[in-house]
Structure 1
Amino acid sequence: MPQEYIHRGLRFMYPDGWELDHSDMLAGKSSVAVYSPGGAFWSVSVHPRDADPQRLAESVLKTMELEYDTVDSESQTVSLGGRKLVGYEMNFFFLDLVCTATIRCVQTEKATYAFFCQGEDREFQAQAKVFDAITTSFLSHVKKLSYWDD
């Protein structure tokens, strides 16, 4: 049975057995994460609605490039939940492991949301559809206005 997170206007479903970390939300920040049993994670952060999704994604990419010695990245535009998300897929090494991360951002009438997913490469691939399902669940609860959203 999936779990449901509802707090401060954020709402999404996530798999049973995943660990929720909403300590940032409880501390007044606007982000929440869920972790798979294998250590991969999905997170969402809320930004002002006038934040540019592409610039936000580029900022995350630059942060990753500062954190890790070599980051291979590829620009992405994906459609989830009837919305266009922009961002990057990134591959890098951490402790002799090949890791994959994605940043996908979308601007809505209410806010700009950044979805960040990361995990060891095999775990990431195993959870990729779950990450998309969580993001789709989240977006299904964000009111879509035809004059604003693509």
Structure 2
Amino acid sequence: MSDQTYDEQGLRFDYPPDWVLEETEDGAVRTVAVQAPDGAGFAVIQTDDSRPDPAEIADAALQAMRDDYPDLESRPILETINDHAATGHDLEFVSLDVTNSASIRCFRTPTRTILALGQWSDLDGEETAQQVLAVVRSIEESE
């Protein structure tokens, strides 16, 4: 089964066809979330037309996760996503006795800053982890 493609207001990414999509908008900030049908794996993509610094946004996302999970382990990451240098963090933390992983990536384009947060648990299996990471790596501008 082939992926669906989200392509709205200059943001495009692919996601699994059975995942649920939600959108919200608050001024210059637009948030699009896709979630596995069982609710465990998900990706949240946020665009900000005011173009804040990607490192600051990635660090703020890390701090928000740390506030919820003080014992989380994090590792800084630099990655290229569709020709954009993305900064971020890979995370591991325990919630309800289950080990969870998360990926924070943030990059700036000429028109916006894009933050992507993907999360999955050990219970989901490798397929969900790969699906979440594929969503994040497929992000691109479409205008």
Q: What stretches of structure 1 of length at least 5 have no aligned partner? A: 144-150
Question: How do residues 26-65 of structure 1 correspond to structure 2 at under 5 angstroms?
Answer: 30-38=30-38, 39-65=40-66
Where relative contact order (Cα < 8 A, 6+ residues apart) is larger, the structure is 2
In the other structure, the counterpart of 2:84 is: 83
- Whether the 8 Å CA contact 1:40–1:124 is kept in 2: the answer is no
RMSD value, Cα = 2.1
> CA offset at residue 13 of structure 1?
2.1
Q: What stretches of structure 2 of length at least 5 have no aligned partner? A: none
> CA offset at residue 87 of structure 1?
0.3
The alignment-based identity, stated in percent, is: 27
Question: Partner letter of residue 62 of structure 2?
Answer: L
> CA offset at residue 142 of structure 1?
4.1
**Residues 127 and 84 of structure 1: CA distance in aligned 2, closer, same or farther (over 3 Å):** farther
**Residues 125 and 104 of structure 1: CA distance in aligned 2, closer, same or farther (over 3 Å):** farther
Q: Hey, which of these two has a bigger chunk of helix by percent?
A: 1
**Residues 53 and 124 of structure 1: CA distance in aligned 2, closer, same or farther (over 3 Å):** farther
- Whether the 8 Å CA contact 2:7–2:142 is kept in 1: the answer is no
> CA offset at residue 49 of structure 1?
4.6
Structure-2 separation of matches of 1:58 and 1:125: 26
- Whether the 8 Å CA contact 1:118–1:124 is kept in 2: the answer is no
> CA offset at residue 124 of structure 1?
6.7
**TM-score, with structure 2 as normaliser:** 0.84
Structure-1 separation of matches of 2:87 and 2:4: 27
Structure-2 separation of matches of 1:65 and 1:135: 21
Please give the secondary structure, in 2, of the residue aligned with 1:31.
strand
The count of residues paired between Structure 1 and Structure 2 equals 140
**TM-score, with structure 1 as normaliser:** 0.81
Q: Hey, which of these two has a bigger chunk of strand by percent?
A: 2
> CA offset at residue 15 of structure 1?
1.1
**Residues 142 and 49 of structure 1: CA distance in aligned 2, closer, same or farther (over 3 Å):** farther
Question: How do residues 62-73 of structure 1 correspond to structure 2 at under 5 angstroms?
Answer: 62-73=63-74
